[in-house]
Amino acid sequence: MSPVKAISTCFSKVFNYSGRASRSEFWWFFVFVGAATYLVSFLDERMFPDTWYGMVFSHNTENVGTMLTFGGTPMQLVVTAILAFPLLAAAWRRLQDTGQSGWISLLPLAGLVLAALVLTLASKIEAGSTSAAPGFIAMLLMFGSVVICVSSLARRSVPGNNSYGPSPLEVTQ
């Protein structure tokens, strides 16, 4: 599938979580989302310097040690919010193409929530501590969830029909 066809397909199936998506469809759209987010962030930093919105989780009050930050510049947050839905739908269909549940696409989000929870609880329990253990645990949760998700997305398609429908490579449109 060509990059343009992949991008148009993903936008046309923005809320379609049934069926299957080929590797090329998903990865071309993933590259497009990354490039669009980077470009908007680049432009946003020139238009709105020193503007950043987000959240910071740290396991101590002095911000010594590991912190978990997420957020972005104003336009980047808007573009990310808009592109998140078609990217999630494409990932969901891609996982179904490999014969796996689409729920695996939510693992990075679960890892983020668990990492933030670990750092928040650690700050309550170990006030003033500079231990690296909570930060290390948070990093493992984030990294592990992303590795599992990406490795699942990179798997080969199940040939022929599976429980989610016919192979996107064999369907003529």
Residue pair 65/135 in contact (Cβ under 8 Å)? The answer is: yes
Please work out, in degrees rounded to the nearest 5, the angle formed at the alpha carbon of residue 107 by the alpha carbons of 109 and 129: 60
What was the pLDDT predicted at 51? Answer: 63
Q: Could you tell me which of 65, 31, 33, 44 has the C-alpha nearest to residue 138?
A: 65
pTM exceeds 0.85, yes or no: no
Q: Read off the pLDDT of residues 2-45 as tens digits, 9 standing for 90 and up.
A: 999 999 999 999 999 999 999 999 999 999 999 998 888 888 87
Per domain, the residue ranges of the chain are 3-153
- Over residues 130-142, mean pLDDT: 74
- What's the token pair of residue 43? 């432009």
Class of residue 173 by CB neighbours under 10 A (exposed 0-12, middle 13-18, buried 19+): exposed
pLDDT higher than threshold 70 for residue 54: no
Q: Read off the pLDDT of residues 57-70 as tens digits, 9 standing for 90 and up.
A: 554 455 444 444 55
- What's the token pair of residue 123? 């700050």
